[in-house]
Homo-oligomer: A and B are copies of this chain.
Amino acid sequence: MTAFILDLDGTLIDSVYQHVLAWHTALRQCGYDLPMWRIHRKIGMSGGILMRALEVELGQGIDESTSKRLEKIHSDEFERLRPTMQPFRGVREMLQTFARNDIPYAIASSGHRKDAEPSLAALGIGDDVPVLTKEDAENPKPDPQLFLKAAQRLRTKSESTVVVGDAVWDMLAARRAHFLGVGLLTGGYAESELTGAGAYRVFADPEQLRQHLYETGVNIRANDNGPSAI
């Protein structure tokens, strides 16, 4: 049985551009000047790796206390922008399709648990779905650890595991975990960037993925394969 590991921000919830803006604000408030497009291409990394990436772009070190301040301002700004975020079309229907067909799935987000919770609530994701966040892995994405732990929780093997994400970092982590990567355009990456990072297929959004689930090798009932009724 195929199992799915789903990224959250930018894959199920329209929140990448808010992350970009929140990091831009945090960096400016700490005296750093990094253009939006360079920040955009880092979203989906997290914690220490993100800070190292920002250091490389800025050409200077970020000390521990500044790093904490950056994370705090980012988190506050992201929360302030929360009312502008919502699930992408087809997400709820996709999760219902998984449930109806007994397809196991987990959520794996490189964000903090507390930043993820409002999104999980908005999607009605219950306790029966394994949810892994930054706190669950020492090295989060693009390290494969988070996806490997999600697969453990799902008791799925590498040859039966599909990772769905919007960032090249998801595709990189999927590849390193020996899972199949499927990309979505919802995070603002180009198709070529996702395929270049190893995506087997790229779909526009969760709705289009749901309609073409069979392309990932999933065997589901025909009446769960058509366009959404909504």
Contact = CB atoms under 8 A, between A and B. Distances in A.
Contacts of A188: 36-37, 40, 188
Interface string A77-92: 0000000101011000
The prevalent SS among residues of A at the interface is helix
Contact of A21 (B21, B35, B40, B187): B21
Interface in A154-195: 185-190, 192-193
Contacts of A16: 36-37
Contact of A190 (B24, B36, B192): B192
25 contacts: A14-B35, A14-B36, A14-B37, A16-B36, A16-B37, A17-B17, A17-B20, A17-B21, A21-B21, A21-B84, A24-B84, A25-B84, A33-B86, A35-B88, A35-B89, A35-B205, A37-B185, A37-B186, A188-B188, A189-B190, A190-B190, A190-B192, A190-B193, A192-B192, A192-B193
